[in-house]
Amino acid sequence: MFPSDKVGSTDAIGPILVSVVVPSYNHAKYIRKAVDSVLGQDFTDFELLISDDMSPDNSWDVICGFDDPRIRSFRQEKNLGPVGNLVFLIKQARGKYIALLNSDDAWYPSKLNKQVAVLEAQPQLGACFTWADLVDGQGREISGPEAIWNDVFRQPNRTQGEWLRHFFFSGNCICHPSMLARKEIYDELGFYNPGLKQLPDFDMWIRLVKKYPIHIVEENLVAHLRDGNNTSAVSPENSARNLTELVEIFGSYFDGVSDEVFVEGFGKEFRLKGVPATPARLKCERLFLLLDSAFAHAAGRAAGLSSCIKNLADPEFERVLRDEYMFNVFDFYRLTGQAGFGHYMMLAHSTPAPAAGVGLGAHPDTSVTLVVRVVRYLKALARRLRHTVRQN
């Protein structure tokens, strides 16, 4: 028996087109609005799966207050975490498509109807997304300096190669609760990585566009809460974790990408142009992209250094890197002494801890200094992304 105190009766209603999954945690004041926004959709051929992850508030009482045969609700007996709870729901889903809604977000009434029409008409697509409004706890569109982030989720449609390029240079720009995906993509790509707390969706979108085209419905069909308490909220802990996770994501960024998609997305950035795209040359181009161009430069460079260490054991790669790209093993040695996390750790240990009232306050642990540097780096990255949004 699955962890559950309340199960709906959808077994009797036949095949289901869409499974809507709502992972719930500590959002008693928001979850009723979230569930009502699903039940109020123009599209009705769905089941609604809600899993409460041992919320300490009265979320479960609110969930149990709904009486709709399309709802199946589960209460976890052990805390799974946000990724584990989402994966649990996807495994229970019986629909052809999976739609995600966070327990503190809401959909507009035509959201599912428009997305299902897109995926039914274009079977080659792996998933469909929409634009989103970023709102505060009262449901009002956010204003002030944060308003620039409204434009981050309002992206145009792109080819697979163009999406890979955009993610690489600009970061995540797809609103997770706008997703409608074919369930079969999880069979091929696997589920969200539970080792990633900050960026599991970004990692999934990268894996997705390597294999499938996607489509954006260019309308605001989701109200996405930004109240400073989300997983994406800026804090020293989240900022440090972001960089750690980005090293892993960039480390496998080009794995499994076809040469055609890679060249289409990044060919204009190649150091060597007008020559045949041999395997060794493409490895070199991927290396220099990581070293020079990733939007999170420190994380991309760290991933690039790791990749180069592994590939330098390949004589053909080493030869092409040396003879065609004029970059030899001694250049690499110099680089490993001047970049990467080892370099940043040495800087942290050689810099005095910040004085009281500066950054995180006085602290004898030099790891705090590193966290301060990471936070400053992330803030600079945010300014860069805002500049990119304004330009686009």
pLDDT value for 386? 54
**Residue 7 pLDDT class (50, 70, 90 cuts):** low
pLDDT value for 236? 79
Per domain, the residue ranges of the chain are 10-231, 239-351
CA atoms within 13 A on the CB side of 308: 29
Read off the pLDDT of residues 59-74 as tens digits, 9 standing for 90 and up: 999 999 999 999 999 9
* pTM for the structure as a whole: 0.85
CA distances from 77 to 52, 92, 97, 176, 192 (A): 9, 16, 27, 26, 21
CATH classification for the domain delimited by 10-231, as one of 3.90.550.10, 3.60.70.12, 3.50.50.60, 3.40.50.12780: 3.90.550.10
DSSP class of residue 141 equals B
The partner residues of 18 in beta bridges, in order of sequence, read: 46, 97
- Asked if residue 225 lies in contact with residue 141, where contact means CB atoms within 8 angstroms, the answer is no
- 143-147: long-range pairs with CB below 8 Å, 24+: 146/226
pLDDT of residue 258 exceeding 90: yes
- Asked if residue 181 lies in contact with residue 126, where contact means CB atoms within 8 angstroms, the answer is yes
pLDDT value for 377? 55
Average pLDDT over residues 371-380: 54
**Residues ≥6 apart with Cβ < 8 Å to 225:** 30, 102, 104, 105, 134, 135, 136, 137
CA atoms within 13 A on the CB side of 236: 10
**Residue 356 pLDDT class (50, 70, 90 cuts):** very low
Neighbours of 186 (CB within 10 A): 17
